[in-house]
Structure 1
Amino acid sequence: MNSVKIAEMDWMTYRDKVQDGACKILLPVGAIEQHGPHMSLNPDVLIPEHIACQVAERSGGMLVAPPIAYGYKSQVKSGGGNFFPGTTCVSGRSLEEYAYDVILAFTEHGNREFIVLNGHYENSMFLVEAADRAVKQARLSGIEIKVILLSYWDFISETTIEKVFPDGFSGWAVEHGGVLETSIMLKIHPKLVDMSKVVDMPPAEFPPYDVFPPDPDWVSSSGTLSSPAKATAEKGSWILDECIEKISRTFS
């Protein structure tokens, strides 16, 4: 089977492909987190993995590592918080150590360039720390590696946002389980979305601070932070096409 997924290769095929640092390794990192009653728990894993595979197939010279599925704790103002059954998170220290270990393990195989493709906002700074430490640790062993860290939504232009949200965009902060993620999932995994269960609601509003322990009253009982009612597979295509094209062009 001709696949860009490392997990689907036998070890000898993998060895031959990565000899002398011949391939860039794409590492998707996500989270298991509620995305409302209308969608599965794993969009933050499936979306970056899909983008990574499409980029690898289009660009050549890239392989996709098995995704890191568990992410840092869901925060109230970006993911609804940890109040919902199914949201299954790890500490920042655990995520950092896991990503650090995985990058160094792939380094031992001869790989020298990594693209960490994040699909869960809360992961960001812990992946920064993992990447920085991995580069420094490899250098202590006389090995130079490069780690690129990106979040797919940073490649979505204002033009596409205006197309997806013709009536106005409420902002990234409240897009959890909203139109963007739901549209992408309708395109790539429609069986994991049930639009009949959508809760149509106004965008969440939060005070300009956080509080601990978090207050569940800050979050809608649906778990989403804005309405996904206007999500469509066509909108998902617009978003994905731009992300995949730009990431491929930037890192080929």
Structure 2
Amino acid sequence: MGTRTEDVRLAYKTWKQVQEYLNYDQTVIIPVGANEQHGPSCPVVTDTLLAEHLALEVGRRQGVLVGPTLPIGDSLIHLGFPGTIAFRPSTLMSVIKDYVTSLHKAGFRRFFVVNGHGDNKPPLQSAFSELGEELSEIRYFVHDFWDFPNFREILNDEFGDPNGGHADACDASLLMAIDPSLVNESLLTSEFPKVRYWISRDLVDDLYTKSGVIGSDQRLASKEVGKKLLEEAIQCYSQLLMELMEVKEPALS
């Protein structure tokens, strides 16, 4: 593993420094976020900030390089809200494939994707499925932070919901823990969709959300819960990363 106290951002290294790193480790962490509405209380950069914060903290603790954050994801359903910028799933697949192929050419073989937006996961997994056929010797994880069992348990205990929603109390709490100034607490709200099935974007306002919050009571958010959630996500990601790096550790609970 690398030196834990150094800057782990790949983009701030020289090519010589990256080459030296590859002499002892071929692992890279890739944060993937989104630029989409998060209700009236949280910024459109929420998913990107969360993915990047988690990736950098895991990278620092484990001494693993962190690649540049992909700040745009599959946010097509949110395009009715000003400020949202979206990739089509096919575009996101092409972008991550070019990203990973470039790093693979340099010598990276283990790719650890910290995903901050749920709709990104299918195209990311599909892209890696293709990369697994096209590239040699690669190992990878694509994981959403809210899918760790212990993380879900905290959500259930604190908010009465193990799954959360969009622009939910989980997101707001995490942002509060990172930087309270990012959340306008006076505008936290609650809204739940009228239907459970997927819909086209023209029906979002009528059936899913007018505020941008989907399936959550944001007003339950707190900085204290956010700190607990952050630490749980960082620990779980760290354990998963060590598995990818073939360090023998106990299985995740």
CA distance in 2, matches of 1:211, 1:205: 11
Identify the residue that residue 221 of structure 1 maps to in structure 2.
210
User: What is the deviation of 1:233?
Assistant: 1.1
- Whether the aligned pair in 1 keeps the contact of 2:33 and 2:70 (CA below 8 Å) is yes
Mapped partners of 2:89, 2:206: distance in 1 = 25
Native 8 Å contact 2:76 2:88 kept in 1: no
Q: Is the 8 A contact 1:51 1:244 kept in 2?
A: yes
Q: Calculate the aligned-residue CA RMSD, in Å.
A: 1.8
Residue 100 in 1 paired to residue 89 in 2?
no
1:210-249 aligned at under 5 Å gives the runs 210-212=198-200, 214-215=202-203, 216-225=205-214, 226-249=216-239
For 1:55 and 1:206, how far apart are their aligned partners in 2? 38
Deviations 1:65-117 (A, max 9, x none): 01111101343xxxxx3210011101111000000110010001111100111
Scaled by the length of structure 1, the TM-score of the pair is 0.87
TM-fit CA distance, 1:190: 2.0
In structure 2, the residue matched to 1:10 is 14
- 4+ residue stretches of structure 1 with deviation over 4 A? none
Corresponding residue of 1:192: 182
| Structure 1 segment 1-252 matched on structure 2, within 5 A | 2-19=6-23, 22-60=25-63, 62-75=64-77, 81-138=78-135, 143-157=136-150, 158-165=152-159, 168-169=160-161, 172=163, 175-199=165-189, 201=190, 203-212=191-200, 214-215=202-203, 216-225=205-214, 226-252=216-242
> Could you tell me which amino acid in structure 2 is paired with residue 196 of structure 1?
S
Unaligned runs of 5+ in 1: 76-80
Partners of 1:50 and 1:188 in 2: CA distance:
8
Q: Equivalent residue of 1:214, what SS?
A: helix
For residues 64 and 136 of structure 1, the distance between their equivalents in structure 2, rounded to whole angstroms, comes to 24
Residues 128, 146 of structure 1: alpha-carbon distance in 2 compared, 3 angstrom cutoff: same
SS in 1 for 2:217: coil
% identical aligned pairs: 28
TM-score normalised per structure 2: 0.86
8 A Cα contact 1:119 1:152, kept in partner:
yes
Structure 1 equivalent of residue 248 of structure 2: none
- Hey, what's the Cα distance between the residues in 1 that align with 2:188 and 2:15? 44
Q: Distance in 1 between matches of 2:8 and 2:55?
A: 9
Aligned residue in 2 for 1:78: none
Alpha-carbon distance in 1 for matches of 2:158, 2:28: 31
Paired amino acid for 1:159: E
In the TM superposition, what is the alpha-carbon distance from 1:23 to its structure 2 partner?
3.5
Ranges in structure 2 where 5+ consecutive residues have no aligned partner: 243-253
Deviation at 1:242, TM superposition (A): 0.9
